[in-house]
Structure 1
């Protein structure tokens, strides 16, 4: 049997260094532009600081430790993650504080986290049920460790979390019976709120989080000097920040915002959310900028008005919106001029092909490169083991590994 040899090239990996995106990289490739990335890091950190909150960006968006480190270097308090495996990956790459906003379930996952805590990781997870509390308490007692936990406060019809004050009280009592668990605050997620006046509902939910953590602190059940209160995705971060922006919280609690997609933003879903933030706060200086694009070649021009692009579901997210054509780079030209593609639109996506509808007078040739934007960046990052950071001239400045 012939010896197995792994492929020497992964998709989107430069063939040389230094490298130019259009000359030295087999396309398609996922690309993060340096200037808007740097802008977004500073913008969101400044926003959190101005509202007296810590920033713990949700790392599941990118699972790129190079980006985690940039976020920490920009002032982030820690990194939010969703799973034990993500937690271990982040810790292995130098992240020393993780907020895991899911219940920690299953002994193998508990073992991963326990090992990381023993290795120095500052960690807490959320709980919303007595069964999980008992399992965690027994496991971490066996390991001789204290596990910090947050009670998750949910919303009716939402995802996880306690729905009522009575459920919170029951859970507090269950945690108190487990010496290996330390209750350190309250966690929530407002992104599942829908219907009616959503903004008002988000504001009410933020107030509910604050009221709950204060009630628990007054009752003496929280086991830390500055209890955590945390929420915020990338849609309503301004309203949650306002709910947390109180002198008493700044002085006696640890309010934590957790947006993730802001780091690269997008061209539609979160672009719309940013427009709404600006509408709610006309005096807000600046805004987030899209940084993530995927570049791919025109593969075929089989009939008038149709281009097939060498790009597919394996390369770019397609929910809630299909990939958005942004620019055309003609094949083989000097200086890499690009051209507007207004009126071009994606109509269909398959595993390895995108169908692009064109105006009758479209100037296009096989081999041309099309840059596509995304709507919701998370589902693009997880399709790549390597993401390229490039400057404005498309020179590759960094190759960033992902660890999903």
Structure 2
């Protein structure tokens, strides 16, 4: 990435556009505001914060795990859409950043990102022409996207006709009833042959997403994931034997943040001097107190690494106690994730851990906290589930030295671009 552009984020001037920043910070740059030594108590509610120690722990834990497993990592940048965090992942050894759509590619290139894996099929003609121009202007740019049909190959080739260089693509294997991707290895093999025949494209690997075939860690789900990955391995062998790969380095890539251990078990043996097995986990960096806490491979019995730690927390103030057993907090759907479970009440600022209590509903701007001993005006810390739907609600996220400290200090502000 262009480090100068990442560093320049510290010079952005704060104002009313950033809902995490109090009025006292308006008019200052990020660097100037941090120099004032703000603390959590200087910030308003509702609020989402990151924990510096947990971020560093998760970053180092995943990098070490991948190194030990002998696989690469191209973390999914869509989770955070935060170039400063992408830079940290690259500095920790990531091979590339994975993205999901054209607007995200625009952000990446604005910050000079040069190794991009698009876990999607790019068919927009204007977007493909823009990509071709980017590749022509920057010889160091390495890019690959996905294809899952002969028709998508034809459309890409048509849009790229006359481009100075071919675009690398991976053929995507899916599964019946799941998301995108060819439904059988034989179908994917036909798509790979179409790529091989198109001078505008070159076949760079096999891709897939095992998280589309399961959503928990039951034996049946783990078996379904293993079977899907075995089909990916079969496809890779077929294409390799037929000589269809056209790049010096071939990627065999899968792996979200839920089943990356099974990906390594099933695919890592195929890595060699030409084939690199690459995980695309993204949520591991922030982790959570919900879905990923319950399904992460490092939280399962017998895991060979320290579990990830949740770096994400919500903070909301009690604004009403309208009836016994019910408190209303000033944060809701516009502030916190809720697609993989409601926020988890954890502690009350100044009083410690919260005994009991649960969030039973969220409105746009309110959370319904029941059966908790809290008073109007108190601030409750909330554990959040599914980081992918937290970051997109906040354009600037304060980073605390420790969310467990008596008075957490704000040590950074992370800028997101959604």
TM norm structure 2: 0.88
Q: Distance in 2 between matches of 1:206 and 1:233?
A: 13
Q: Distance in 2 between matches of 1:162 and 1:338?
A: 54
> Do residues 279 (structure 1) and 300 (structure 2) align?
yes
Are the equivalent residues in 2 in contact too, given 1:127–1:151 (CA < 8 A)? yes
Match of 1:216 among 214, 227, 239: 239
> Do residues 270 (structure 1) and 288 (structure 2) align?
no
> Do residues 199 (structure 1) and 222 (structure 2) align?
yes
> Do residues 367 (structure 1) and 388 (structure 2) align?
no
Tell me how far 1:117 sits from its aligned partner.
2.3
Q: Could you report, residue by residue, the CA deviation over 1:243-298 in whole angstroms, capped at 9, with x for unpaired residues?
A: 2222x514331110011110010102111112x54435x15121111110111222
Match of 2:321 in 1: 301
Are the equivalent residues in 2 in contact too, given 1:88–1:113 (CA < 8 A)? no
Match of 1:81 in 2: 99
Are the equivalent residues in 2 in contact too, given 1:53–1:255 (CA < 8 A)? yes
Match of 1:176 among 193, 196, 215: 196
Match of 2:253 in 1: 230
Tell me how far 1:379 sits from its aligned partner.
0.7
- Where does the alignment leave 5 or more consecutive residues of structure 2 unmatched? 1-13, 26-32
Q: Distance in 2 between matches of 1:116 and 1:324?
A: 44
Match of 2:61 in 1: 43
- The Cα RMSD (Å) is 1.9
Tell me how far 1:116 sits from its aligned partner.
3.1
Q: Distance in 2 between matches of 1:63 and 1:317?
A: 16
Match of 2:362 in 1: 349
Tell me how far 1:19 sits from its aligned partner.
4.3
SS of match in other structure, 2:368:
strand
SS of match in other structure, 1:254:
strand
Are the equivalent residues in 1 in contact too, given 2:193–2:244 (CA < 8 A)? no
SS of match in other structure, 1:143:
coil
Match of 1:150 among 163, 170, 182: 170
Tell me how far 1:338 sits from its aligned partner.
4.2
Tell me how far 1:87 sits from its aligned partner.
1.5
Q: Given the superposition, is the C-alpha separation of residues 283 and 403 from structure 1 closer, same or farther in structure 2, using an over 3 Å criterion?
A: closer
Q: Distance in 1 between matches of 2:17 and 2:105?
A: 28
Q: Distance in 2 between matches of 1:384 and 1:325?
A: 20
**Matches of residues 4-403 of structure 1 in structure 2 within 5 Å?**
8-14=16-22, 15-16=24-25, 17=33, 18-120=36-138, 121-194=141-214, 197-246=220-269, 249-274=271-296, 277-279=298-300, 282=302, 284-329=304-349, 337-359=350-372, 362=373, 364-392=374-402, 393=405, 394-403=408-417
Are the equivalent residues in 2 in contact too, given 1:228–1:254 (CA < 8 A)? yes
Q: Distance in 2 between matches of 1:51 and 1:230?
A: 14
Tell me how far 1:199 sits from its aligned partner.
1.2
Which stretch has the larger CA shift, 202-211 or 220-229?
A: 202-211
Q: Distance in 1 between matches of 2:70 and 2:158?
A: 37
TM norm structure 1: 0.91
